[in-house]
């Protein structure tokens, strides 16, 4: 468990020589074991914020600290679940989870044990040797969550993990995620555009405002778990957050910069 | 007591096993059916050929009877001539293809990984590959003579082109998403190659190998027809010079069958290795 703090974090893309602010002056302090949800309309930079925290993008202003240490690059102490499951189709479920342990100090026996434990945790016992093409979208995302957790990271980042799932599966996985979070006590940051999902899971809902992405409001959710979606207090919080989405500025095109393969992997 | 305990298990297992056998049988039946479909066209051609020779539509000297070609095939095999020539040809393909593999993989990986390497090499590579094998033969004869080196070079060139292109494309098309996963889990270069780059490029590599090997086999026959004193292509030329068209046609059959066999073997290896790709089809 770790304390995560973002101080004056900003991010610019340059599109055709023009500087475009994606994130501006983000200040956020997240307590160990806290569940924070970041909501905002598409293009508000919420996914970009996660990319900075996970360490896939080092080009930003300000600083991101974990337990006082400035982050640099990726780390096994920060896990992530992407919107698409990103499982490798040529590996089985347990091998996919095992990818996260490639550089872990655990012994082979310990690895096997922890992979089995985490597949059990996400309810996929018995599917160890299945291939991704045999899994439904919801099952794939469960594997991705197991892969994100298997290193026992201090912080788990979730980038719209249930965005592509049908409503029923999504509700199931939200309940599962809540159980896992309460059971494991890991700090979680969930990026979503689903306000109900945010209110259902989070201790605090951060509302981002687009162009440039700034924190518009932070809404604390103090209702006890498990939350009832029909509870008037829950609905009130949901409506309160939704009201922040009211007046959007005129949309403009946002063009992300594609990075060539060479930049990602090797220097040559 | 033991009866009541053991009974349910076979009772449940039996229908499942029966269903599996039925499924296997159905699969086998559809395979046989498809195999039979593939034979219709060749059999029709054979029948037409037979009718043509039987009725004397074409002179016997120009179009020998299928039965004659068939017996010639066995004569050539029994005399050892066919096997000698075939093994010489296969050796040439093996050498040429191996050289193409080394060269094509190296070039494809370099151009796939580095835009700079691509900028340097791709235009020249493309220009060279646009000149067909036949166009290279006269120059190569002048440069390296008419011996084995020339044949292996020609075969290697023919095979290297698809291997290079498919390797390059395979590396280029590795999803960015997978590379990010590798970065999140802090893969070192060795892990990156073994766990991400190699497996995700493998389908494309196999495409290259298959096209490369087919190309190698085709150009082998070409080069042997033009400049050779042994090999299956030479045997064809020799048959034509003696106006023994049964020998020519027997050689054609052998070339076709060997080419088909090579492709089938690669196909089997491919489906074995890339079982996870079934979802895509």
| Concatenated DSSP letters of A201-217 | H-SEEEEEETTTBEEEE
| Concatenated DSSP letters of A190-247 | EEES-HHHHHHH-SEEEEEETTTBEEEEEEE--PPSSPPTT-HHHHHHHHHHHHTTS-
Q: How far is A220 from A34, CA to CA, in rounded Å?
A: 12
CATH superfamily of A4-226: P-loop containing nucleotide triphosphate hydrolases (3.40.50.300)
Task: Answer yes or no: do A103 and B199 touch at CB < 8 A.
Answer: no
Query: Closest-CA residue in chain A for B174?
Result: A261
- Residues of chain B whose beta carbon is less than 8 angstroms from a beta carbon of chain A are 112-116, 171-172, 174, 176-181, 183-189, 191-192, 195-196, 199-200, 202, 274-280
Q: How far is B181 from A104, CA to CA, in rounded Å?
A: 15
Task: Answer yes or no: do B179 and A264 touch at CB < 8 A.
Answer: yes
**ipTM of this predicted complex?**
0.83
| Contacts A260 to B, Cβ<8 Å | 115
Give the range with max mean pLDDT: A139-143, B7-11, B34-38: A139-143
Task: Answer yes or no: do B114 and A75 touch at CB < 8 A.
Answer: no
pLDDT values of chain A reduced to their tens digit, one per residue, 268 residues: 678 888 888 888 877 777 888 888 888 899 888 999 998 887 778 888 899 999 888 888 888 888 888 888 888 888 999 988 899 999 999 999 999 898 888 888 989 999 998 898 888 888 988 888 888 888 898 899 899 989 888 899 999 888 888 888 888 888 888 988 888 889 999 999 888 899 899 889 998 888 788 888 888 888 888 888 888 888 888 888 888 876 655 666 766 666 655 555 543 4
| Contacts A75 to B, Cβ<8 Å | 186
pLDDT of residue B15: 57
- To test the contact with chain B by mutation, choose from A73, A77, A90, A129 the residue with the greatest count of B C-beta atoms within 10 A, namely A90
| Domains of chain A, residue spans | 4-226
For A140, the 3-state DSSP assignment is helix
Task: Answer yes or no: do B184 and A262 touch at CB < 8 A.
Answer: no
Q: How far is B53 from B59, CA to CA, in rounded Å?
A: 8
Helices vs. strands in chain B: H and E counts, helices first: 12, 0
Query: Can you tell me which residue has the tokens 């060795």?
Result: B190
Task: Answer yes or no: do A90 and B202 touch at CB < 8 A.
Answer: yes
| Contacts A89 to B, Cβ<8 Å | 276-277, 279
User: Which letter does DSSP use for residue A102 in this model?
Assistant: T
- Cα A143 → chain centroid: 15
Mean pLDDT of B93-111: 95
Q: How far is A35 from A157, CA to CA, in rounded Å?
A: 10
Residue B10 scores a pLDDT above 60? no
Given B114, B178, B202, which is nearest A86 (Cβ)?
A: B178
| Contacts B113 to A, Cβ<8 Å | 261-262, 265-266, 268
Residue B2 scores a pLDDT above 60? no
Task: Answer yes or no: do A262 and B113 touch at CB < 8 A.
Answer: yes
> A235: Cβ–Cβ under 8 A, 6 or more apart, which residues?
A229
- Residues of chain A whose beta carbon is less than 8 angstroms from a beta carbon of chain B are 54-56, 73-76, 79-80, 82, 84, 86, 88-91, 99-100, 102-103, 131-134, 259-262, 264-266, 268
Helix, strand, coil percent values for chain A (each to nearest 5): 35, 25, 40
- Cα B45 → chain centroid: 24
CB A204 within 8 A of CB A34: yes
pLDDT of residue B7: 38
Residue B48: enclosing H or E segment and its boundaries? helix B8-54
| Contacts A84 to B, Cβ<8 Å | 177
Residue B225 scores a pLDDT above 90? no
Mean pLDDT of B220-240: 87
- For A29, phi and psi rounded to 5 degrees? -125, 125
> B253: Cβ–Cβ under 8 A, 6 or more apart, which residues?
B69, B73
As beta bridge partners, residue A35 has: A188
Span B194-221, pLDDT tens digits: 999 999 999 899 999 999 999 999 999 8
Given B112, B177, B195, which is nearest A99 (Cβ)?
A: B195
Distance in Å, alpha carbon of B130 to nearest chain A alpha carbon: 27
Mean pLDDT of B122-127: 92
Q: How far is B170 from B209, CA to CA, in rounded Å?
A: 12
Task: Answer yes or no: do A265 and B186 touch at CB < 8 A.
Answer: no
pLDDT of residue A60: 84
- For B210, phi and psi rounded to 5 degrees? -65, -50
pLDDT of residue B201: 92
Given B179, B180, B186, which is nearest A103 (Cβ)?
A: B186
């Amino acid at each position: 468990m770790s304390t995560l703090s973002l101080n004056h974090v900003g991010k610019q893309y340059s599109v055709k020589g023009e500087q475009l602010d994606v994130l501006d002056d983000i200040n956020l302090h997240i307590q160990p074991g806290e569940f924070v949800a970041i909501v905002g309309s598409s293009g508000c930079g919420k996914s970009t914020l996660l990319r900075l925290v996970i360490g896939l993008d080092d080009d930003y202003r300000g600083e991101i600290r974990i337990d006082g240490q400035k982050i640099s690059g990726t780390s096994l102490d920060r896990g992530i679940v992407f919107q698409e499951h990103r499982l490798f189709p040529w590996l089985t479920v347990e091998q996919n989870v095992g990818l996260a342990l490639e550089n872990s100090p655990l012994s082979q026996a310990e690895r096997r044990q922890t992979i089995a434990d985490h597949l059990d945790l996400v309810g996929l016992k018995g599917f160890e040797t299945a291939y991704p093409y045999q899994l439904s979208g919801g099952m794939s995302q469960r594997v991705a969550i197991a892969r994100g957790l298997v290193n026992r990271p201090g912080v788990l980042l979730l980038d719209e993990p249930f965005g592509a799932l049908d409503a029923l599966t999504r509700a199931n996985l939200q309940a599962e995620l809540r159980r896992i979070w309460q059971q494991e006590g890991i700090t979680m940051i969930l990026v979503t555009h689903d306000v109900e999902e945010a209110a259902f899971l989070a201790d605090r809902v951060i509302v981002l405002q687009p162009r440039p992405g700034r924190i518009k409001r932070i809404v604390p959710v103090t209702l006890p778990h498990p939350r009832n979606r029909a509870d008037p207090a829950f609905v009130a919080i949901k409506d309160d957050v939704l009201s922040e989405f009211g007046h959007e500025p005129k949309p403009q095109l946002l063009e992300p910069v594609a990075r060539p393969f060479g930049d990602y992997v090797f220097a040559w | 007591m033991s009866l009541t305990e053991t009974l349910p298990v076979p009772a449940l297992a039996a229908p499942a096993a029966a269903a599996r056998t039925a499924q296997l049988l159905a699969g086998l039946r559809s395979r046989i059916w498809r195999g039979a479909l593939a034979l219709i066209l060749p059999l029709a051609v054979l029948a037409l050929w037979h009718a043509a020779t039987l009725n004397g539509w074409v002179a016997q000297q120009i179009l020998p009877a299928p039965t004659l070609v068939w017996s010639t095939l066995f004569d050539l095999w029994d005399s050892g001539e066919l096997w000698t020539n075939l093994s010489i040809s296969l050796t040439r393909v093996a050498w040429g293809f191996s050289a193409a593999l080394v060269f094509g993989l190296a070039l494809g990986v370099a151009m796939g990984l580095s835009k700079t390497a691509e900028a340097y090499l791709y235009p020249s590579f493309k220009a060279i590959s646009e000149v067909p094998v036949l166009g290279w033969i006269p120059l190569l004869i002048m440069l390296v003579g008419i011996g084995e080196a020339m044949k292996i070079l020609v075969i290697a060139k023919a095979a290297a082109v698809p291997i290079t292109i498919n390797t390059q494309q395979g590396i280029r098309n590795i999803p960015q998403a997978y590379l990010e996963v590798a970065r999140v889990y802090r893969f070192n270069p060795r892990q990156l190659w073994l766990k991400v780059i190699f497996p995700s490029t493998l389908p494309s590599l196999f495409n290259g190998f298959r096209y490369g090997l087919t190309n190698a086999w085709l150009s082998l026959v070409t080069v042997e027809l033009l400049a050779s004193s042994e090999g299956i292509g030479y045997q064809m030329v020799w048959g034509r010079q003696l106006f023994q068209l049964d020998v020519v046609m027997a050689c054609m059959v052998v070339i076709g069958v060997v080419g088909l066999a090579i492709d089938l073997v690669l196909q089997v290896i491919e489906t074995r290795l890339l079982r996870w790709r079934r979802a895509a089809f």
